[in-house]
Amino acid sequence: IVVAAREVVLQRLQRHISAFWLFLGGEVILFVTLFSVVTWGEESGTGIVADGSELPLVSCFLLLTSSLTITIYHHSYGLYFGRFFLCLSMILGFLFIVVQVCEFYGSGTDSLYCSYFSASYMTVGLHFIHV
């Protein structure tokens, strides 16, 4: 009975591992496709979504800081101050989304204008989902 139960657990674990790699492969293909469309469309002279000075720098800082705080939360899981870092990570993620919405609204571009802007917005939208 123990051997049969062990085999069932190993089969389920193998199925979960295969599903994880399938999901990860799909994510990689999607991001590579979107980044290639953005890179290809950027060369056509359609303009840019942001100028690369203030708001993108703030967005990058927010994402890196939220990665740091969620890592601290993972290492302090179960400790008294661990939830503080989880809440801080959620606040930073929300602020990232707010900054991105402000950046897109201020850019004056339309996602239906060309494939470059559509792919740019979709790439950041995927970041929203992952944040």
**Angle formed at CA 87 by CA 81 and CA 91, multiple of 5 degrees:** 145
The rounded distance, in Å, linking the Cα atoms of 71 and 67 is 6
From the number of C-beta atoms within 10 Å of its C-beta (0-12, 13-18, 19+), residue 26 rates as exposed
The mean-pLDDT minimum among 19-28, 33-42, 77-86, 107-116 falls in 107-116
The rounded distance, in Å, linking the Cα atoms of 131 and 127 is 6
User: How many domains is the chain partitioned into structurally?
Assistant: 1
Q: What is the CATH number of the domain that holds 64?
A: 1.20.120.80
- What is the share, in percent, of the chain residues with pLDDT greater than 70? 82
pLDDT digits (tens, 9 = 90+) for 62-73: 988 998 999 999
pLDDT digits (tens, 9 = 90+) for 3-49: 677 777 777 777 778 888 888 888 888 888 877 877 776 655 555 55
What would the two tokens of residue 68 be? 């740091």
